[in-house]
Structure 1
């Protein structure tokens, strides 16, 4: 045996390499190893995505009112499906020049990024001053002073709408952190971190080309309030909830329940019960008002009478518990 501090001889190295070459690289179980690229695995799903979708629908209605004064007409705004992607992936698809406004929603952690296409800004300025909203020829590299002012007014109105929708979940206050025109300087999160992208497609009536506005939230910030978002989803009193209640009420209105009335409840002994025979008379006392029972539950009081030759009950009083439901 060689000393632990000595090096292997040439024969020993050859034997070692030969032995390694005789073994198959595949797993003994027959399974072949698959390549793995770090950073490309699917992102952990968020249980609060449906709540974000609901918030996006409400925000789309608010955005119509925000954009209308600039577009001189009420635009069509559609909330796209929320997408979860890495920030670097979203940034790679954006043009080199665009409007980027970074806000914070205190006390939430992280920030919110509002991204607007420069062509949309240019067309809004044109329509605001009485133009047709035609697209500017050539590639834009910077905003004019007028466009800068419009960007400020528009994004302030947009973030106010965002804060208003978020306040239904958690009270927040918006604060501007910075404005950029190059995505390379938009430091919302690190490149590899995931973001939730709420995209809105805007089509003003006077403009044939639709535009998009992206609102980005760091997923890490959303996970911190995921419980509140999920609770908001299950306790939503919005339009969808009202429609559900109306449909449920319409369906339940056709359900039939057994209704009956009790005229009297006489008491007899066991001995009298055992001696009963045809022709016996049991005296009873009928009260002035008898109960109407539906599914075994008293819902009203009424008087016994007849209508068209049939016994009938005339309702005199509705039970108080039924009135409150």
Structure 2
């Protein structure tokens, strides 16, 4: 059957702008994943130096893998029955973010603390011993600071809410939730890398990054030495016990066993890059030579 007339549109078809066709937060889903991946790269750069005290002062290398979509079953299979699972609340909205650290890595760090080589003997225990719980708290503190810095948030907006060795017992996500996840690998020469898993429910991605973008701009002023990135900046400090002048003739005549009389100043200067920042008196603390600060000059 053929119509006897041509059809004419009653009105102009709707033309939706790109903003209406995007997901929550005004960005395509891929943009949120890219932001998560960029935050993971930043976290990896910060985490290596921050973990150095747990490795005897030598910072391990930390590498981030690209952010990906995941689900609870696959994530649980990667994490295993025992891990240091920490549920953080991030930003003012309290976005739940799971950070999970491999159990073998935690126990290896405990072994190093007690003078071992960090090798895990035998299988994993059913639960963490008290010594491992204390190590987890140390790692948790490090992660809190690094996670806040990587997201560009004040540390007060990154709080550890709950922790459990069993991911099932912690139950950080609603059943069947679609997750956004990434993995960091902590690499030490001569050893197998160990993973840190990070995941959150996919609908929370816009809230995680939108609040950061909408955070009030801090007024410009003097840098706060107690805030990142200045607080962790290492500086070489020298206490000058003796500052004396000697002639070239005396220096040329120095011999092993020769005794040079010196006088330690009552006020010993404390210097950074040649600039005196404080002064103090020499004493003893815990069987070590110590300097009691009596005045500051900054």
Range class of TM-score, shorter chain: 0.5 to 0.7
Aligned partner of 1:221 in structure 2 is: 204
Counterpart-to-counterpart distance in 2, 1:229 and 1:102: 19
What SS does structure 1 have at the residue aligned with 2:79?
coil
What SS does structure 1 have at the residue aligned with 2:31?
coil
Aligned partner of 2:152 in structure 1 is: 167
| Counterpart pick for 2:61 among 44, 68, 76 | 76
Aligned partner of 1:102 in structure 2 is: 87
RMSD: 2.5
- Matched ranges for 1:67-216 at <5 A: 67-72=51-56, 73-167=58-152, 173-205=157-189, 208-216=191-199
| Offset, 1:114 | 1.1
| Offset, 1:228 | 6.6
Question: Conserved in 1, the CA contact under 8 Å of 2:91 and 2:208?
Answer: no
Structure 1's consecutive aligned runs of 4 or more residues displaced over 6 angstroms after TM superposition are: 228-231
**TM-score, scaled to structure 1:** 0.52
Counterpart-to-counterpart distance in 1, 2:155 and 2:84: 27
Query: What per-residue deviation string (whole Å, max 9, x for no partner) do you get for residues 237-285 of structure 1?
Result: xxxxxxxxxxxxxxxxxxxxxxxxxxxxxxxxxxxxxxxxxxxxxxxxx
Name stretches of at least 5 consecutive residues in structure 1 with no aligned partner: 1-43, 232-325
Query: What per-residue deviation string (whole Å, max 9, x for no partner) do you get for residues 212-238 of structure 1?
Result: 00111222111235557799xxxxxxx
Query: What per-residue deviation string (whole Å, max 9, x for no partner) do you get for residues 110-136 of structure 1?
Result: 311110111000111122333211122
Q: What is the number of equivalent residue pairs in this alignment? A: 187
Aligned partner of 1:318 in structure 2 is: none
Counterpart-to-counterpart distance in 1, 2:64 and 2:156: 22
Counterpart-to-counterpart distance in 1, 2:81 and 2:155: 35
Query: What per-residue deviation string (whole Å, max 9, x for no partner) do you get for residues 185-228 of structure 1?
Result: 122221211222121011223x5121000111222111235557
1:46 aligns to 2:26 (yes or no): no
**TM-score, scaled to structure 2:** 0.57
Question: Conserved in 2, the CA contact under 8 Å of 1:102 and 1:179?
Answer: yes
